[in-house]
Structure 1
Amino acid sequence: MAQQDTNHPPFEQRTTISSVHPLLETERLIQRRFSLEDAPFILELLNDPGWVQFIGDFGVRTLDDARSYIETRPLAMYNRVGFGLYLVALKEGNVPIGMCGLIKRDTLEDVDIGFAFLPTFRGKGYAYEAASAMLEYGKQEFALKRIVAITTPDNVSSARLLEKLGLRFERMIIFPPENEELKLFAVEF
């Protein structure tokens, strides 16, 4: 188990939000907790070529793998720190289109924001809409004073979106376990 970060207070546990109830709503989107029923969507998203290129290959090849990913990543983080990655769906039709959320990694001092969308839904402003709401959520609900983001050096579209959201490039970092060189962006409130 990771040692408690003494620079940041522990995050309040939030267990009252059902996986089927929206956590955040914007003009066009709903963001809610993942549930095991979202395995088909996770299977599709994590095998998208853009995900594999810019985020990585998590070896999710079956619905069982997808359920395991949901259990060990988003659901585990909700239980550990009270937030995590959330499913993003269109309000109209409740169509899952991506994920967006706050992540507390042992390898970063600060909470970071992450997002990924299926190719059909990129370039339509959905990532900006979801991430803007998520930054405000982290600031208001968890009193975060600083949120960071990491990208690969060649992920130009994500870097552009982070800058539009108000995050600024700070420096290159070496990110374990592969010791990959990544760009670190940050915003302070």
Structure 2
Amino acid sequence: MKVIETSRLGLRWVEPTDAAFIMRLLNEPGWIKFIGDKGIRTMDDALNYIENGPRAMYEREGFGLFLVELKDDHIPIGLCGLIKRDGLEDVDIGFAFLMEYQSQGYAFEAASATMDLAKERGMERIVAITTKDNHSSSKLLEKLDMKLEGYVILPNDTEELKKYILDF
């Protein structure tokens, strides 16, 4: 289901047919370093991630991580969306893109459109979390006018993460 369209991108629900892309993205070095190893090694792992992650959140919250694809040829390039996770009071924005599509403005374009969606849905505040050494994500969050509020440790984790906020 298509959710957002921008000049260059389409954002839609992640489908089971996206399993090969999900397996590739979640095993990229940047994903593993900055987001964490989700243990996605097989197509079945990827299908389980899709069903128990994004698709379960669509059912529960009406939003989640959306697949980002190039508008003209529908090539999947990343994920971007809104997440309601344990340990955070507010909804947060998350994004990750294949290495070859980074530094081309796609993440900013997708994240800006996602923030507009959050506003349209009546959300009053969006937060974001990132590792202390993920400078490109921090830079993007600041470009979205988010401000560093402090640090947070999520449940069942030990790493202190940067926490950004934006009030609408």
Tell me how far 1:52 sits from its aligned partner: 0.1
Tell me how far 1:176 sits from its aligned partner: 2.1
Which protein has the larger Cα radius of gyration, Structure 1 or Structure 2?
A: 1
* Mapped contact 2:86–2:154 kept (Cα < 8 A): no
Matched pairs, number: 168
Correspondent of 1:81 among 52, 61, 64: 61
CA distance in 2, matches of 1:99, 1:174: 23
Correspondent of 1:168 among 141, 147, 162: 147
Correspondent of 2:80 among 77, 80, 100: 100
Tell me how far 1:79 sits from its aligned partner: 0.5
Tell me how far 1:33 sits from its aligned partner: 0.2
CA distance in 2, matches of 1:146, 1:103: 13
1:139 aligned partner, one-letter code: K
What is aligned with 1:14?
Answer: none
2:57 aligned partner, one-letter code: M
CA distance in 1, matches of 2:148, 2:11: 27
What is aligned with 2:136?
Answer: 157
SS at match of 2:69: strand
Tell me how far 1:177 sits from its aligned partner: 1.0
What is aligned with 1:144?
Answer: 123
Give the TM-score, by structure 2 length.
0.99
CA distance in 1, matches of 2:37, 2:110: 24
CA distance in 2, matches of 1:177, 1:120: 32
Tell me how far 1:145 sits from its aligned partner: 0.4
Tell me how far 1:185 sits from its aligned partner: 0.2
